[in-house]
Structure 1
Amino acid sequence: MLHPLLHNHPTTTNNSSSATMASAGKRPVDLSAATTSDPIKRRRSHLSPGKDPQLEEEEVEEAAQFHPAASSAAQEDDADSTGLRLLGLLLQCAECVAVDNLDDAGQLLPEIAELSSPFGSSAQRVGAYFADALSARVITSYLGAYSPLNPISKSHHQKLLNALQIYNSITPLIKFSHFTANQAIQQALDGADHVHVIDLDIMQGLQWPGLFHILASKTRKIKSFRITGLGPSAELLHSTGQRLAEFANALSIPFQFQPLEGKIGFEPWWEFSRPVCGGIALIFSIV
């Protein structure tokens, strides 16, 4: 007889407690909402009882969509900054490889590998392939397996020169870039008597005859015009300088040409960019 009494006693107490709360006008406490793991459900359970249920539902949906959108925007910003950082490192590493600065290039490659991935974003995938190519170039250069291409023959070089001149005559792309650069240089040279141009990749020097025409048409004549041209071949630089000198002499422009064989970025070229005297307009060009 004692066991049934003990079993029924809690039930009687719970029922009486619920009845007491109902009589006092209080809402029973729902513990299921407090213990749920869904934050949206927890927010829905704690909304004000006096609000319109439809407005409550809209606020809940808005809260559910806010955090993913903010997270997505933050991820896009991080991806953009990572892509820019990766691009800068790739360019810096490529410049080091171009001037045979293999130690600095080797130090940049681990950071590039950390930011790039063949399975990531577009920038990361491109960076991964360029990193592999630069790594192979650095490794083969250290091992001595990489060697420069054999110099082309004079006849083959003449064929390439003729092909480039034909291409320049039929397409406006190179002409437009030269024209735009020469216009900017001409405006910068307003009032200058002495000019020194550092062409970091002069090739055949096709850009400069157009500037010679512009300078020759001005009432105030240039007193000296000097070009320091960088290129991989001393023979090519000599022929380019001779051709530019003939063109400048035909327009009565005092002209000097300084050939400099080598790659962009190697140290001695900077010595030639120092003006021999004051009042010289110094221009750097790579088109």
Structure 2
Amino acid sequence: MEDLYRVSFSTVDENSSSSNDIFWGTEELNEVYKVQFSGAEDHRVYGGVDPFYSNFEFSPDYSSQEGNLLSTNQEKYHQQQSYHDYGHLDDILQFDMVSPPLQFDAQYPTTVPLCGTTKDEPHSTIPLASLEILKNYGKGFKRLSNEGKSLQPVVDSVATNEFVLRRLSTEDVMRIAGTRFIQSSSSESEPLPFLETHPYGFSFSGLSDEEKEDVALAESLLASAEKVGHQQFERASKLLSHCESLSSKTGSPVKRIVHYFVEALLQRIDRETGRGSSKDLQKDQSFDPEEAAKELNPTIVAFCEELPFSQISVFTAVQAIIEDVAEAKKIHVIDLEIRKGGQWAILMQALESRHQCPIELLKITAIESGTTRHIVEDTGKRLKDFAQGLNIPFSFNIVMVPDLLHLREDLFEIDPEEALAVYSPYALRTKIQQSDQLEAIMRVIRTLNPNVMVVAEIEANHNSTSFINRFIEALFFFSAFFDCLDVCMKGNDKNRMIMESVYFNHGIRNIVATEGAERKTRNVKIDVWRAFFSRFGMVEKELSTLSLYQADLVSKRFPCGSFCTFDKNGQCLLVGWKGTPINSVSVWKFL
């Protein structure tokens, strides 16, 4: 088979260990699986089993600079906010937190409402400048000390002009703009930001002209959002008109992201004033980015190949599964969002070289409730061919239901001798709005009682009922992504333009411009998932040092990988960009 990959194992010297004890711990890496990929000459063929992962391997070369999990000068200044930082829990996932953690009713007699029990609050009664969520950005971040042995708080960079020593990231610009906006809004006169010479707050000395323009533009955007939040639409429109004239789809990352947030705020004004057309509404609802991503079109492929987050999450998750089923001869994996199934090509290659415990059967079951059964069927055929090339006994099943409410445990072919694993790659977040469907999935999984469940999710809070909170969270989250695109792709790259103008633009508009049932982008952070999972008797399992090493190793394969940051939140791994959390990967057991 053309895109057959070769696999080999190697054992690392027992004395080899992570030099970064601060968060990975001091346990030695006694054995590392080494998977070397040598795929088809053109691994970008979108129909292939594994279009993304052919340039990566499972173990490092300890003689190289990659022996360190994190270099001592790598920045790590991310702030972790618990769900308490957002006020009431019903601003995020609306479910009852009364029952103690790790206690659950096996019969689940009542429904846990996840969404819709609390109405959205489209108009904030608190000025944007006074929100802790904005004040906290830029506070509480940590980074490695010069000795690389401890984490030290970052000195207030806005006050010390630390940022002038390096090029500002997009999030840096937003933090500076936020600080200046708070200062300006607390003054009695409340001058319009773009009409002033900025005599207060952060000094512009040392910044380039472009950075000064970006900070002023971002500050004006924040002022616009505040006016929209207070329904001061005429003043907001004037500010937005100014922002629109200075932003663009092809400028700096700040100018690009401001362009799309301006569009979203204008759309919100149109909807609240009744000026929005039904045609525009239908256009927004007709595009489903989740369904579009299943096809793995060239833009999605480029996004996964050139940005590190997807591959880091996949390799970390697969490593966790491999370790949990290390001694099983029959392995069954239930995939909640299989798409092209490239992750299982990685698993197969690891299993193919497991000589001490040869695999008797690998079974993959994909759950499908949408309109893309043909994609899943094609994925199954390719995986079967791939398994055949590796001489791995393989079975592929599809559990097809018209609605996840119809999901039942008897639809799965479960063998008591199987080691059962569940993989959820960004699948649960899409069901937050349909709390009954999310409930149905988790109840069935609980009944199946898998050995392990690995969950990858977006690490962001985009589900607050407060428009202002959502706006700030979305602004900083997408700022990190726009900054990453700027580092990893050229400014005029076609796929970058499509990713920003179609996929990210859709997410920004959905978070900022819509309310109620129309608002489908509802990501939540790991603390909220923990509280939810505890209701089903799920206990978090710590990711191994080897899994964490895989994450760092994959990041180093990217030219932009030095900007990836890692942190452990509880037992799980947070993957970030220049300190801003992007994804989480967590492993769960059932009581």
Bigger relative CO (Cα 8 Å, ≥ 6 apart): 2
Select the structure of larger CA radius of gyration: 1
What TM-score do you get using the length of structure 2 for normalisation? 0.26
Query: Higher helix share goes to which structure?
Result: 1
TM score, norm. by length of structure 1: 0.50
